[in-house]
Structure formats: C-alpha cells, structure tokens
Amino acid sequence: MENLLPGTPGSINRIRERFNKNYFEQEAWAQNQVICGLDEVGRGCLAGPVVTAAVILPPNKQPSRLLKDSKLMTPEEREKAVEWIDKNCWYSIGIVHHRIIDDRNVWHATLIAMKKALVHLLATSPYTPSKIITDAMPLNLFDTAHKDIPVHYFPFGERRSSTIAAASIVAKVKRDEMMRRMDKIFPGYLLASHKGYSTPPHKRIIRESGQHLIIHRDSYLARLDALEQVIGQEEMALDDEQQSLFGQNESHPIHADPSIRELAQE
C-alpha cells in the first residue's frame, strides 16, 4: 500500500484504493507521528451553519470504541464519545454561517470552515501532523503556514478512520447544540427537532407560513424541491462510490443538473 504514502509536501491526494480502517493512523504512530482528521456536519440543511471539526488522536493509544460514524450513533453515544475526545484528544471547530453558504456555495463554504478548524487546532496543538485526512473534501492549504502538509481525502472517511469519526462526532454535537439554542430564539420552526434538515415537518412549516427565518439558506429555499431530489441522488451516488472503493457492486455517480448540484455538494 505504498501508493497511499507518503504524499509529496503540499500535495492533495484523492485515495481510491481500498485500505484497512485506521491505516493512516497506524502508519503515523509507527513512526512516532500523528495525523489530523477533518469532517463536517450540516451541508444538506435548509437552515443554520455548516460546522466542521479537526481532531488529532493521542499517538500510540488504542482509539476508543466510541469513535464511529456520528450518523449511526444515538445522542447519548455521541455525548459519551465527546467526553472521551475532550479528555484525550486535541481538537478545534470551524463554523460558516448561512450567508457564506449562499454567497460562496456549500462546497466552498465547507472548505472555508475546514481550514478555520485546522488552523485553530495547529495553533494550539503540541503536535504537527505528518498528514491531514478528510472526508471526501480536497482541502487546499496553499495560502496557510501548513501548506507543506500533504492532504489525503476519500469518501465515507468516518467509517475508515477513527480520527475522522472523532471529527464528525465533535462537529455533530456542536451543531446540534447550536440548533437547540436557535430553537429558543426562533420558536415554532422545530429547529431543536430537525436541526435545520429538510424534513417533512420543516418544509411544511415553511410552506404553510409563507415565511422563513434569517438563518435559512436562501439559495436552498429558492429551489427546495429540486434540491431535495439532488441531495437524495448525491447520497446514493456516494453510497455507490463507497461500494466501488471499499466493497462490492461497483457503479457510477449520478450527474445531476450542475446548476442545482453546486448547491448540494453532498
């Protein structure tokens, strides 16, 4: 598996090969190094920010079994995992609000948030990672002091890396907390329940009231029905890509209308 390593300084590498879970962590720890993992939450939401997290796991320590895909965990499991992360890891959070998402599109907004999280983390961590891994996002660090660190990205990273899983958990818990607070500021929209996602109750409230909140993403609401369809297509496409890279049943992504797809880079 030498083709996954080491990555030339400053390179951005899309990983297509199959590899064992925590491959990057184990390779780094064997050389007394660490890696940094990043993930995001909230790209497909109608309201609220995109939240990202950057995490460095403690070197040469078995990752907790609590670290797994945040989408597959209960709120209680995520809270327990965050407690472990808070005690054992170095991490930071990056947030971009709905206006940046509208102005720059969600793909670029997510990269901005990831860069924020990473820069904040590396300013406080005692470690400099030998590599940065992300969940399917080609993070570009050329305009930062960390431009020489190679970046590796691959789909469904939270299932292939405990470090990315930890980042997904931190981002999810932080964003859910933010949406619960917003629910108290904007009652009647059930934000604490759906967290801003495009659920039937959320869409019904918007349509029946004829109004939306200042935290709603105008670019999403303008094409609500079309966006919902594309997000579903993109999720299926990513499932297909994961099967191709890490499992069986190889297939190809669905190519949606580019003007809509840019709104929903899921």
Number of domains in the chain: 2
pLDDT confidence tier of residue 261, bands split at 50, 70 and 90: very low
Query: Could you tell me if 142 and 244 lie in one domain?
Result: no
- Among the candidates 154, 178, 202, a domain finishes at 178
pLDDT at 246 over 50: no
- Among the candidates 160, 178, 196, a domain finishes at 178
Query: Could you tell me if 113 and 15 lie in one domain?
Result: yes
Q: Could you list the residue range(s) of the whole structural domain that residue 76 is in?
A: 2-178
Query: Could you tell me if 172 and 47 lie in one domain?
Result: yes
Higher per-residue confidence, 235 vs 180: 180
- Nearest alpha-carbon partner for 152 in 23, 11, 9, 2: 11
CATH number assigned to the domain comprising residue 45: 3.30.420.10
Query: Could you tell me if 130 and 246 lie in one domain?
Result: no
Distance separating alpha carbons of residues 233 and 266, to the nearest angstrom: 9
Query: Could you tell me if 141 and 233 lie in one domain?
Result: no
Higher per-residue confidence, 245 vs 19: 19
Residue 64, both tokens? 């907790």
- Among the candidates 143, 178, 213, a domain finishes at 178
Distance separating alpha carbons of residues 230 and 266, to the nearest angstrom: 9
Strand order in the sheet with 90-96: 12-14, 151-154, 131-135, 35-41, 50-56, 90-96
Quick: pLDDT tens for 70-101: 999 999 999 999 999 999 999 999 999 999 99
Quick: pLDDT tens for 145-201: 999 999 999 999 999 999 999 999 999 999 999 999 999 999 999 999 999 999 999
Query: Could you tell me if 15 and 125 lie in one domain?
Result: yes
Query: Could you tell me if 47 and 141 lie in one domain?
Result: yes
CB 61 within 8 Å of CB 89: no
Query: Could you tell me if 45 and 166 lie in one domain?
Result: yes
